[in-house]
Amino acid sequence: MSPRTYFITGSSRGIGLELVKQLAAKGNIVIASARNPDGAEQLQQLVDNKKVFAVKLDVQSEESVKAAVAKVNEISPDGIDVLINNSGIIAPKGSISTTTDPEVWGEIYQTNVVGVVRVTQQFLPVLRKKDTRQIIQISSDSASLELANRANLNAPYHCSKAGLNMFSRCLSHDLADEKFTCVCIHPGWVITDMGGSNADLTTEVSVSSMLKVFEKYTQKDNGWYGNWKGERMPW
């Protein structure tokens, strides 16, 4: 596959940082974003301003997103091939449906849903400059209604990921005539600050597996929801 230009949100650590590392190693141009990229030491070690660039981005700020778009247009005036929406936060442990303050729900949704909507809408003109036109949402098995079959779930997080999936499904229909490919992928239970130390997968294994799936995406996969193994998942 010929090199592509990627824009990734939430790239200062965890899955996002590993995506930057592995995509760049494959010869792609990667524009990594974070709220404070200058303070992200591990990310800065990858930045060479030739193949890897860092851009400031707060997904909760319209002004910040617009500034990031302007910067990306400077870095890559021919556009980007792939947008990977990786930014996400989780509610505190014990955030169940019956007692969690609505303000907590709002904070989770502002990043995990509204932030993704904001970034995606603002970056559509940048994606339209290329023919690849892929939008990848780093989702979760927590988004699956069918798999949510127990009590005491982290309700705001699960609901936000279900909302993210529905947004992607809506995008897949609304952009189909423009030959976009809009997908959601569950990266597995990964050892990160969010996933915890008892998780099943390292970031290296999760990302390397996901990249194999990414490389197979075509427009026929528009509207897809699956996991890092390439298996479809129940909505």
How does pLDDT run across 113-127, given as a tens digit for each residue? Answer: 999 999 999 999 999
Residue 125's domain spans which residues?
5-227
CA distance 67 to 73: 10
* pTM, two decimal places: 0.97
232 found inside a domain: no
Q: How confident is the model at residue 218 (pLDDT cuts 50, 70, 90)?
A: very high
Query: Looking at the annotation, which residues are catalytic?
Result: 157, 161
H or E segment and range at residue 30: strand 29-34
CB 5 within 8 A of CB 79: yes
Q: What's 180's domain CATH number?
A: 3.40.50.720
Q: What is the mean pLDDT of the chain?
A: 96
Residues in CB range of 62: below 8 A, 6 or more apart: 118
- Check whether 42 has a pLDDT greater than 90: yes
Q: What is the pLDDT of residue 172?
A: 98
Q: At 177, phi and psi to the nearest 5? A: -65, -20
Least confident of 54-58, 153-157, 168-172, 196-200: 196-200
d(CA 224, CA 200): 24
Number of structural domains found in the chain: 1
pLDDT tens-digit readout, 134-189: 999 999 999 999 999 999 999 999 999 999 999 999 999 999 999 999 999 999 99
Place of tokens 């290329």: 130
Closest CA to 209 of 230, 180, 183: 230
Distance (Å, rounded) from C-alpha 181 to C-alpha 172?
Answer: 7
CA 39 – CA 34 distance, rounded (Å): 9
- pLDDT tens-digit map of 71-114: 999 999 999 999 999 999 999 999 999 999 999 999 999 999 99
Please name the residue that has the structure tokens 């930045």.
Answer: 47
Residue 233 lies in a domain: no
pLDDT (0 to 100) of residue 197? 77
Number of neighbours of residue 223 by Cβ within 10 angstroms: 16
The answer to whether 12 touches 34, Cβ cutoff 8 Å, is: yes
